[in-house]
Amino acid sequence: MKISIIIIIVLTISACSSKYTEQISHHYKKCIEQENKVNGFDFYGNLITAEELLIKNDILEGNSRNSYKKAIVKLFNGDNYKNQFLLIKKEKSIKNITSSMFSLFFTCSNFEIDNNNVGNLQNYQRILSKFRDKGYDDLELITDLFIATNFKNKAMRMHFLCVFIINLEMKYGEFNTLVPANAPSPALQRTSK
């Protein structure tokens, strides 16, 4: 009897998690593809290429949750990815990501959803939209996004990858599209006071 209840609970949680992942993937893919249709930019395709480059250049070990966890912890603990990042930064897929990320953090995370049963999607939208105000290197938000991300789902993993690349850019690149190269990020300003 207890085993049956446990199995039912596990199956229910799996079904809810799958529905949650599907809602997020569908919503963001549709919105981002529509936003980038005008300029012909393939947001997800370029992020997949960028992920492959990060793996090839030993910044990421793979595309698993654990690989991303290790990479973000190493980045914030001072490991130096500068040489590898500057090498791959010349690639078109990396260059275009920071200039097209507005659709992820602004447009697609900034409107009401009609369906009444999308609390998880709205929570995910809230997390992504908070990056605008708190800064892309806010560890609390990165942790929230990490927890909310299903890394087996390519679209959700690409959202986390976008935040990771932005942090690489902030640390080692120019990042002129959002923040002047010599300006500290909002999160760093808060911690230095």
pLDDT of 27-83, one tens digit each? 778 887 887 776 777 888 888 988 999 999 999 999 999 999 999 999 888 777 888
Backbone angles phi, psi at 174, to 5 degrees: -90, -40
Domain boundaries in the chain?
24-192
Of the candidates 145, 189, 143, 136, the residue with the CA atom closest to the CA atom of residue 165: 136
**pTM exceeds cut of 0.85:** no
Q: Which amino acid is at 43?
A: F
Lowest-pLDDT range of 94-103, 108-117, 179-188: 179-188
Q: What pLDDT shows up at residue 6?
A: 43
Q: What pLDDT shows up at residue 115?
A: 53
Both structure tokens of 46: 């370029």
Q: What pLDDT shows up at residue 186?
A: 39
Lowest-pLDDT range of 128-132, 142-146, 155-159, 163-167: 128-132
